[in-house]
Amino acid sequence: KHGELFCDNSAKDILKMLIEECPPDKVDIRTKCDIDNIQYENDYFVLKTNIGTFKAKQLVIASGGLSIPTMGASGFGYQVAEQFGHSVLPTRAGLVPFTFSDATKGLTERLSGLAHDSAMYNERRTFRENILFTHRGISGPAALQLSNYWHTSEEIQINLFPETDIEAVLFEAKQNAPKAILKNILAKSLAKSFVQELEDLFWKDLATTPMGEMQDKALRKIAQQLKSWTLKPSGTEGYRTAEVTLGGVNTDEVSSKTMESKKQKGLFLIGEVLDVTGHLGGFNFQWAWASAFAASESLSHH
């Protein structure tokens, strides 16, 4: 779906695969190594660390972005890039759940764990996938995707019936089930707990009114609200749970063929440290690997 590819089991499987691709006679992996200082002296990068000093003619920055700091993410790569003359475009959390501080927070808490196939959108983009209510706000693929195109204080909209002409459904129910109430009509498509929340939001005063007695104007308004439920997030969960970091080192300052810096000979920048962000579903992995391949091809010719 959408060309996406997800890991079946654990992210550890990806790590295991990468390590297996590194022959021990060609790749020396050092862990628990803190870099204190990097200098460029006499055509060599000199790295002073807590486990010794290293010298190399080429240096590859593949340190990622700021997302999920509990796993060691930091701004190290940006600092190195700036040290060697690069500009870093403003960073922020991407592919991240929305949070709310108004009455919507109570709604999402009550519906926590409930998922629904929707179209979430703003003036820039629309994403048709599941949304997931959580005790903090709204997550799920559609929300994560839209977060990349959302800015603080902006509203978002949710179409709860992206493949259904819900207005036609309501008018058909008025004609064919005049004694039914709206809540029971919608409960055929939505979870009952969700319908109750929507009733409290959109037609509380008409909760017990039979469909046959509902005014056409009221039904049209409710249909419109179900197709464009407008919410205003207070923010996102931030880097703590973000899957990617938006922004990063300006790509105009890096060769698109070799990933070598245009500012500093021998310096290569790859992956998420650059201002490149893919959609959910393996595209950021693909960028990391593709940029790494381009850099490695160049390094092999040095």
Is 1 inside any structural domain? no
What is the rounded distance in angstroms from the CA atom of residue 137 to the CA atom of residue 133? 6
Mean pLDDT for all residues in the chain? 96
pLDDT-derived band at 115, boundaries 50, 70, 90: very high
Under a CB-based contact definition with an 8 Å cutoff, are residues 178 and 185 in contact? no
- Same-domain status, 195 and 179: yes
What strands, in cross-sheet order, belong to the sheet with 229-231?
A: 229-231, 156-159, 115-121, 126-133, 137-139, 98-99, 235-236
pTM over 0.85: yes
Tokens of 261: 């810096």
Of 70, 65, 72, the closest CA to residue 34 belongs to 72
Tokens of 218: 């009221």
- Same-domain status, 230 and 259: no
Under a CB-based contact definition with an 8 Å cutoff, are residues 157 and 164 in contact? no
pLDDT of residue 9: 82
- pLDDT tens for 206-259 read 999 999 999 999 999 999 999 999 999 999 999 999 999 999 999 999 999 999
pLDDT-derived band at 5, boundaries 50, 70, 90: confident
Is 5 inside any structural domain? no
259: left (phi over 0), alpha (psi -120 to 50) or beta: left
- Same-domain status, 101 and 86: no
Is 4 inside any structural domain? no
Is 133 inside any structural domain? yes
**Domain boundary pick from 192, 218, 236:** 236
The distance from CA 217 to its chain's CA centroid, rounded to whole angstroms, is: 38
pLDDT of residue 8: 80
More confident residue, 7 or 195: 195
What is the rounded distance in angstroms from the CA atom of residue 255 to the CA atom of residue 257? 5
- Same-domain status, 222 and 292: no
- Same-domain status, 82 and 163: no
Tokens of 220: 């049209």
- Same-domain status, 207 and 256: no
- Same-domain status, 36 and 148: no
- Same-domain status, 115 and 184: yes
Average pLDDT value for residue range 135-149: 98
- Same-domain status, 115 and 201: yes
Average pLDDT value for residue range 66-89: 96
**Domain boundary pick from 236, 257, 291:** 236
Is 241 inside any structural domain? no
The distance from CA 242 to its chain's CA centroid, rounded to whole angstroms, is: 6
- Same-domain status, 260 and 135: no
pLDDT of residue 11: 82
Which residues, listed in sequence order, are joined to residue 268 by a DSSP beta bridge?
60, 260
pLDDT of residue 1: 64
Is 3 inside any structural domain? no
pLDDT-derived band at 24, boundaries 50, 70, 90: confident
| DSSP sequence for 109-159 | HHTTT-EEEEEEE-SS-EEEEEEEE-SSEEESHHHHHHHTT--TT--EEEE
Is 2 inside any structural domain? no
Of 299, 250, 256, the closest CA to residue 78 belongs to 250
Give me Rg for the CA atoms of the chain: 25
Percentage of the chain exceeding pLDDT 70 = 99
pLDDT of residue 3: 78
- Same-domain status, 280 and 211: no
**Domain boundary pick from 217, 236, 255:** 236
For the chain, counts of helices (H) and of strands (E) = 9, 14
What is the tally of structural domains in the chain?
2
Domain that holds residue 251: 11-92+246-300
The set of residues, in sequence order, having a beta carbon less than 8 Å from that of 18 and lying 6+ positions away, is: none
- Same-domain status, 40 and 103: no
Identify the CATH number of the domain in which residue 261 sits.
3.50.50.60
Identify the CATH number of the domain in which residue 109 sits.
2.40.30.10
Average pLDDT value for residue range 101-130: 97
Under a CB-based contact definition with an 8 Å cutoff, are residues 222 and 149 in contact? no
The set of residues, in sequence order, having a beta carbon less than 8 Å from that of 292 and lying 6+ positions away, is: 62, 270, 271
